[in-house]
Amino acid sequence: MKYTRMPIEIESPEEMGYGNIRYNLAESSVRDIYLRDLNVDLKDLVLFYGEHKGIAKLREAIKEESKVVTTDDVLVTTGAATALFIVATTLLNPSDHLIVIRPNYGTNLETPRAINCAMSIIDLKFENNFEMDVNEIRKAIQPNTKLISITNPHNPTGKVFDEKLIQQLVQLAEESNCRLLVDETYRDLNFQTELKPYVAELSDKVISVSSVSKSFGAPGVRIGWLICRDKKLMHDFLAAKEQICLCNSVVDEEIAFHLLHNKKAILEKNHEHIRTNFAYFKHWFAQQEYLEWVEPQAGVVCFPRLKANYKMDAEKFYDTMFSKYGTIVGPGHWFEQNKIYMRIGFGYPTLDELKTGLDNLNECCKSSLA
């Protein structure tokens, strides 16, 4: 495999140094939490190799919300990122084909590229409300199609695909004898929509992926998971995990268990913060004149673009945003889109930071756009 670093990672806030950014509107998570706020005592933890699938109580907590999924259908991974890597490298060979809906999380495009398999990319369009068209996906199916890859709730648009569409996709995967990967990393950020069951509940052709990174504000514990009801495939996924890392950090697993054990209280608090910020953001958006958007439904990001009557020198624009205003957003090229698009994260900043960051964005538009 030939690995390539992705712009979203090279230019990420953690690579820039958090201390250098005053108004961080580029994140796709809620604010990172402190270990001290979790009240978790790790003193008596034995630092042994953990159970390879993930410690049982953690898998139990992950599948708790489901009546269909068993603990054996859950594999704990090093963040959702590793789950996605395991899925791609287990299912795809250079002679295979997959269909990826774009924009998408970079790994879902880049790992298949590193494997060098054939890929049909289907772009969601702003003009079409970022809707997914099952018929377009159906037309892209080939005899060697092994995987259809989607993200729901969607990053970077905040779109939630409706249940009927998801069911049609599941049916398509079953008819075509391929797998459906549903990256559900934003599922617990359903601050104004009902939480749907993991799509993996619907069929053993589906693999659902999630983690504690975005909704719990704990990307540093590097705990995610994949869920799949196909026992044979789960065996192969476990083999992949054992070759990558054997097991997860037992420290991380213990903290992740604690997060899930206190899920209700943590998510209520986080959703409350998101709702407050989103209400302000919506109001701000309606008043400003430079950007247009498809309003997000879940998650903490949206993907607006510059209105057609304005012209942007993208390098200068994003440079000025950072150097003059200390503010960052996620430019379109992070998602292989034109830089007139930008991902704006409204769940990470405090309300005051969001207000100033958005004012800065407005000022930057005023001063740099033609």
Q: Does 28 bind ligand PLP (CB under 6 A)?
A: yes
Stretch that binds ligand PLP, among 43-51, 76-84, 166-174, 192-200 (CB under 6 A): 76-84
Q: Does 112 bind ligand PLP (CB under 6 A)?
A: no
Ramachandran quadrant class, 291 (left: phi over 0; alpha: psi -120 to 50; beta: rest): beta
How far is residue 217 CA from its own chain's centroid? 13
CA atoms within 13 A on the CB side of 324: 15
- Output the six-digit token pair for 1: 């495999």
Token pair, residue 202, equals: 């619907």
Strand partners for 291:
306
Residue 298 sits in the site that holds ligand PLP (CB under 6 A): no
Q: Does 219 bind ligand PLP (CB under 6 A)?
A: yes
| 81 is a contact residue toward ligand PLP (CB under 6 A) | yes
Site for ligand PLP in 91-110 (CB under 6 A): 105
Which stretch in 74-82, 194-202, 227-235, 260-268 sits in contact with ligand PLP by CB under 6 A? 74-82
From the list 149, 152, 176, 185, which residue makes contact with ligand PLP (rule: CB under 6 A)?
185
Tell me the Ramachandran region of residue 158: left when phi exceeds 0, alpha when psi lies from -120 to 50, beta otherwise.
left
The residue among 131, 164, 70 whose CA lies nearest residue 294 is 131
Q: Which residue is nearest to ligand PLP (CB)?
A: 79
For the chain, strand residue ranges (E) read 23-24, 74-77, 97-102, 118-123, 145-151, 179-183, 206-211, 224-227, 291-292, 301-302, 305-306, 327-328, 330-331, 342-345
Among the candidate windows 211-219, 229-237, 266-274, 342-350, which touches ligand PLP by CB under 6 A?
Answer: 211-219
Query: Is residue 211 near ligand PLP by the rule CB under 6 A?
Result: yes
Q: Which stretch binds ligand PLP (CB under 6 A): 55-63, 75-83, 234-242, 360-368?
A: 75-83
* Of the candidate residues 24, 111, 149, 151, the single one contacting ligand PLP (CB under 6 A): 151
CB atoms within 10 A of CB 264: 8
79 binds ligand PLP (CB under 6 A): yes
For residue 147, the 8-state DSSP code is E
Rounded to the nearest whole angstrom, what is the least distance from the CB of residue 43 to ligand PLP in the complex?
27
The C-alpha angle 318, 321, 325, rounded to 5 degrees, equals: 165
The tokens for 280 are 């302000």
304 is a site residue for ligand PLP (CB under 6 A): no
Rank residues 109 and 312 by Cβ distance to ligand PLP and give the closer one.
109
Strand partners for 151: 183
Amino acid at 284: W
By CB under 6 A, tell whether 80 contacts ligand PLP. yes
Q: 100 or 364, CB closer to ligand PLP?
A: 100
Which structure tokens are listed for 193? 């929509």
Asked if 152 is part of the footprint of ligand PLP (rule: CB under 6 A), the reply reads no
24 binds ligand PLP (CB under 6 A): no
Q: Applying CB under 6 A, which residues contact ligand PLP?
A: 28, 79-81, 105, 151, 155, 183, 185, 211, 213, 219, 224
